[in-house]
Amino acid sequence: MNYPKSKSYEGLIKGKIMGPNPVKLTEELLTIVTIPKGSRVLDLGSGQGITSVFLAKEYGLNVTAADLWSDPAENTAFFASCGLTEKEIQAVKADAADLPFAEETFDAVVCTDSYNYFGRDPDYLEKHLLPFVKHGGLVLICVPGMKKDCHDYLPEALLAAWTPEQLDYIHDAEYWKNLISKTDGITDLSVFVMESNTEVWEDWLLEDNEYAKGDRKAFDAGGGKYLNFVGILLKRA
Ligand SMILES: C[S@@+](CC[C@H](N)C(=O)[O-])C[C@H]1O[C@@H](n2cnc3c(N)ncnc32)[C@H](O)[C@@H]1O
């Protein structure tokens, strides 16, 4: 697909992304739904903040970048280097399971390539995330997926890069639909296979770090044919 807004981020993503190109994945979600300019948005599991910058600059959103593993001071410095002020974007160290915000703070949540770390808990969405979203607010999620769950007979190509425990973070659209549709307090749920796949993986596999090098083993062995991306859109009722 075409990613007109992500094009100008090709240089900026280098060394910043922590998985398949999250800027392109986020752009795809935002071709399907619109978050009005000026909305207060939580970028959950924002990593080193590249999607947070993208949301603030390209969509005029007021972004809180919340992440567990990255350093908020480094992210704040990155945001400033991109010409963004703390009024426009804030970095917070936070565990998705224990978010430090007041109830109904956010107009929307964007969660790119992170939800699979904490959202497989069937209670997560209702108990730990929805309370911070305004009623009627949007939640946009995308996760690396499997075309068909095959955890009982994992292909060697996937095992070339990942352990069965790591592969348990990756599931098919059916799995996510079953899990999320049981949540009370949501409406307008849509779970779908995204168009982004090969291209966003390729951007990641070109990165020069140990994680990308490790992931390449699965793709070199032909494992890409088992994988896709799953998009999940919903609103708080
Ligand atoms: C694969 S990285 C993706 C980061 C970023 N969205 C990107 O695409 O570059 C997964 C992110 O999930 C975050 N994460 C994992 N568990 C988390 C938790 N319990 N609370 C908040 N963030 C979490 C990590 O800190 C990490 O930055």
Q: Domains in the chain, start-ordered, CATH in brackets?
A: 6-147+168-197+226-236 (3.40.50.150)
Rounded CA separation 113/45 (Å)? 8
What is residue 76's predicted lDDT score, i.e. its pLDDT? 98
Pocket mutation for ligand 1, best pick of 6, 70, 117 (most atoms within 8 Å of C-beta): 117
Pocket mutation for ligand 1, best pick of 12, 14, 17, 18 (most atoms within 8 Å of C-beta): 18
- 47-90 pLDDT, tens digit each: 999 999 999 999 999 999 999 999 999 999 999 999 999 999 99
When pLDDT is cut at 50, 70 and 90, the band that residue 99 belongs to is very high
- How far away, in angstroms, is 82 Cα from ligand 1 center? 21
Q: Which atom of ligand 1 is nearest to the CA of 96?
A: 20
Rounded CA separation 179/193 (Å)? 16
Mean pLDDT of 148-154: 97
What is residue 171's predicted lDDT score, i.e. its pLDDT? 98
What is residue 200's predicted lDDT score, i.e. its pLDDT? 98
Mean pLDDT of 222-227: 98
Angstrom CA distances, 53 to 8, 91, 110, 192, 212, stand at 12, 11, 12, 26, 22
- Please name the residue whose Cα sits nearest to atom 27 of ligand 1: 47
- How far away, in angstroms, is 233 Cα from ligand 1 center? 19
Mean of per-residue pLDDT scores for the chain: 98
What is residue 9's predicted lDDT score, i.e. its pLDDT? 97
Pocket mutation for ligand 1, best pick of 68, 71, 101 (most atoms within 8 Å of C-beta): 68
Using CB atoms within 10 Å of the CB of residue 65, give its burial: 0 to 12 exposed, 13 to 18 middle, 19+ buried: buried
- How far away, in angstroms, is 70 Cα from ligand 1 center? 8
- 162-215 pLDDT, tens digit each: 999 999 999 999 999 999 999 999 999 999 999 999 999 999 999 999 999 999
Give bridge partners of residue 145 from the DSSP assignment.
171, 228
Mean pLDDT of 131-152: 98
What is residue 230's predicted lDDT score, i.e. its pLDDT? 98
What is residue 142's predicted lDDT score, i.e. its pLDDT? 98
Q: Which residues contact residue 190 at a Cβ distance below 8 angstroms, ignoring those fewer than 6 apart? A: 231, 232, 233, 234
Please state, as a whole number, how many other Cβ atoms lie within 10 Å of the Cβ of residue 113. Answer: 24
When pLDDT is cut at 50, 70 and 90, the band that residue 101 belongs to is very high
- How far away, in angstroms, is 177 Cα from ligand 1 center? 21
To the nearest whole percent, how much of the chain has pLDDT over 70? 100
- How far away, in angstroms, is 68 Cα from ligand 1 center? 7
pTM comes to 0.98
Rounded CA separation 56/76 (Å)? 13
- 25-44 pLDDT, tens digit each: 999 999 999 999 999 999 99
